[in-house]
Amino acid sequence: MDQHLHYIRSYVRENKKGFRYNIDVYEPSGNFGNCPLAGSCLRKIIEGSDTDPFSRKRSVHRNPNLENHLKQARKNLNSPTGKAFRKKQSSEIETHFGQLKGNRRWRRFTHRGLEKIEVEVGLILPPKT
């Protein structure tokens, strides 16, 4: 049951906006023959495919830079300044959406596209006082 993940390779991925980031790939090693959790480490056998367990290993793709950003975001949000900001934001934002959903029975946008949605929100939301 003690399967350890081993580093396999790294590759660079690019998102839709052209930002490039590194991905590390890890796979489990060892024999899965008697492991009761083998189903969570191995892919399902597809009809007509190779049934060798080592060709069916699942892999874990990890972005270490993203994990650092998430740690920093959690740290910022849990700081006294972050808590004060969240408290203020929730009271400012939620009241408007509560008004829309409860009093005006508005549930979804009727238009698509950022410009059209901005116009729709401008017509629906009350002016900020």
Instruction: Give tens-digit pLDDT for 66-86.
Output: 889 999 999 999 999 998 888
Do 51 and 96 fall into the same domain? no
- For residue 77, being part of any structural domain is answered with no
82 part of a folded domain:
no
For residue 22, which phi and psi values (nearest 5 degrees)? -90, 140
Domain assignment present for residue 105? The answer is yes
Residue range of the domain that includes 58: 5-62
Q: Is residue 103 part of a domain?
A: yes
Same domain, 11 and 56: yes
Q: Give residue 69's pLDDT.
A: 92
Whether residue 79 is contained in a domain is answered as no
Please give the backbone phi and psi of residue 28, each rounded to the nearest 5 degrees, phi first.
-75, 150
List b or e across 84-123, with b for residues whose CB sees 16 or more CB atoms inside 10 angstroms: eeeeeeeeeeeeeeeebeeeeeeeeeeeeeeeeeeeeeee
Residues 14 and 54 in one domain: yes
Handedness of CA 84, 89, 16, 25 (dihedral sign): positive
For the chain, the first-to-last Cα distance in angstroms comes to 61
Give domain status of residue 76, yes or no: no
pTM of the model: 0.49
Same domain assignment for residues 96 and 58: no
pLDDT, mean over the chain: 78
pLDDT at 52 over 90: no
Residue 45, SS3 per DSSP:
coil
- Is residue 34, in this structure, part of any structural domain at all? yes
Classify residue 80: in a domain, yes or no: no
- Considering the domain architecture, whether residues 97 and 52 belong to the same structural domain is answered as no
Where does the pLDDT of residue 39 fall: very low under 50, low under 70, confident under 90, or very high at 90 and above? low
- What DSSP designation does 28 have? E
C-alpha 11/C-alpha 37 separation (Å) is 28
* Number of structural domains the chain divides into: 2
Show the tokens assigned to 56.
Answer: 């069916």
